[in-house]
Amino acid sequence: MNSMPSTRSLFSSAILILGIFLIAANLRGPITGIGPVLDQVIDSFQLTASQAGMLTTLPLLAFAVASPLAPSLAKRYGLEISLFVALALIGFGLGIRLFDSVIILYLGTAVIGIGIAIGNVLLPSLIKRDFPHKVAVMTSAYVLAMGVFGGSYSAVIIPLAAYQDFGWKMALASYALITLLGLIVWLPQLKLHTKPTKDLTQSFTKGKIWHHAIAWYVTLCLGLNSFFTYIIIAWLPNILIEGGQEAQKAAVYHGVFLIGSAVPGIILIPLLSKLKDQKILALLLAILGFLCALGLLYLPSFALVWSATLGFCSGAIFILGLSYISLRTHNSRQAASLSGMAQCIGYLLAAIGPMFAGGLHSYFSSWAPVLWLCALASLLCGVFGYLGGRNISLHEHA
């Protein structure tokens, strides 16, 4: 661990790495796990499809609101305490959703979203501090941890809810055990109070970046990818059930989608530096995503293949979009500003998706229009991915 501070022992380094992975494990599962049991939630509270979609939308709105505040929190209290607060908020949100109240269900979901937003923004800064020469490896590893934990949770939540009448509330709250483990493992880090990097504190300032076409290409590539990804995260089990799958199998396929979205981190990150540009790769991935979305509609018997491949495409385009932030900018200030712009617009587009898809399903009484919407969003994402993937960059003084 030569990239670690020299004062760290091998044991303390191992505890830090384990803590990072456990934080990452809490950045997806607490919100994606609700998808497989969404029908049970709808039945319990007599929700409309749009109201149910709000359970996926709320965390995304929380991302948009809380993400710009996270650097200020870290600047005041340090990265370590702020990440502990993020885990505590996630655990609190998971716990209060046990109450038999739809208002508390929404409130807990929003609190979880705030905690995840803080973790999403601050964890990369921590990795940059402690692993400056292994950022790509550590980032790939923690993205994989997010996908594996989130996907595994989706796969087991229906049998867990059915076990001895455990119920969906207890099944959702059970993820708090992983959160609690994360809090315990993170305790040794609280003696440190590291401030965020200057890049992070600049990352949500708009500046001139919003006036450049390249910035919009990158932002819309990431935003449209998030738009269709969160529709799939929210509604894939319901889509699969309408296509003839059993509820438990649909939940497993939902997990496969989530794990599939994490796999590209292992494959793509080493390859990106060898490509002259990324435009063709982005377009091909988007076209494949388009075909997979329509495959779910017209060839549902191959749902496992479509789910896994669509997850892979979603994750790959996300990684490509993130790579554009570095590749299309000249300096850390530009990269931080472009990152802030992409997160702001991306979260807002992602937030619209699940509710709009729920309303579309209610109006047509079919998931077909929703899958066509996802397919077209993927295709449009490919257009902006192609434009953003050309070997060009922002003006040096943007």
Residue 54 has pLDDT above 60, yes or no: yes
Q: Give the containing element (helix H, strand E) for 33.
A: none
| Tokens found for residue 332 | 């850390």
pLDDT bin (cut points 50, 70, 90) of residue 207 is low
Nearest to 315 by CA among 238, 239, 256, 235: 256
**Topology annotation, domain 203-398:** Growth Hormone; Chain: A; (1.20.1250)
| Tokens found for residue 364 | 């047509």
Per-residue pLDDT at 53: 87
Residue 13 has pLDDT above 80, yes or no: yes
Nearest to 34 by CA among 88, 112, 99, 89: 112
| Tokens found for residue 219 | 């932002």
Domain coordinates of the chain in residue numbers? Answer: 1-201, 203-398
How would you label 323-350 residue by residue, b for 16+ Cβ within 10 Å and e otherwise? Answer: bbbebbbeeebbbbbbbbbbbbbbbbbb
Per-residue pLDDT at 204: 59
* Tens digit of each residue's pLDDT (9 = 90 or more) over 69-113: 888 888 888 889 999 999 999 999 999 999 999 999 999 999 999
Give the C-alpha distances (Å, rounded to integers) separating 40 from 62, 93, 130, 249, 354: 24, 19, 43, 16, 17
* Tens digit of each residue's pLDDT (9 = 90 or more) over 104-149: 999 999 999 999 989 988 888 888 778 877 776 787 788 888 888 9
Highest-scoring range by mean pLDDT, 141-145, 187-191, 305-309, 351-355: 305-309
Give the C-alpha distances (Å, rounded to integers) separating 215 from 102, 150, 170, 349, 384: 39, 31, 43, 16, 10
- CATH classification of 1-201, choosing from 1.20.1250.20, 1.10.760.10, 1.10.3720.10, 3.40.50.150? 1.20.1250.20
* pTM attached to this predicted model: 0.83
Residue 60 has pLDDT above 80, yes or no: yes
1-201 and 203-398 in the same fold: yes
* Tens digit of each residue's pLDDT (9 = 90 or more) over 310-333: 999 999 998 888 888 878 887 667
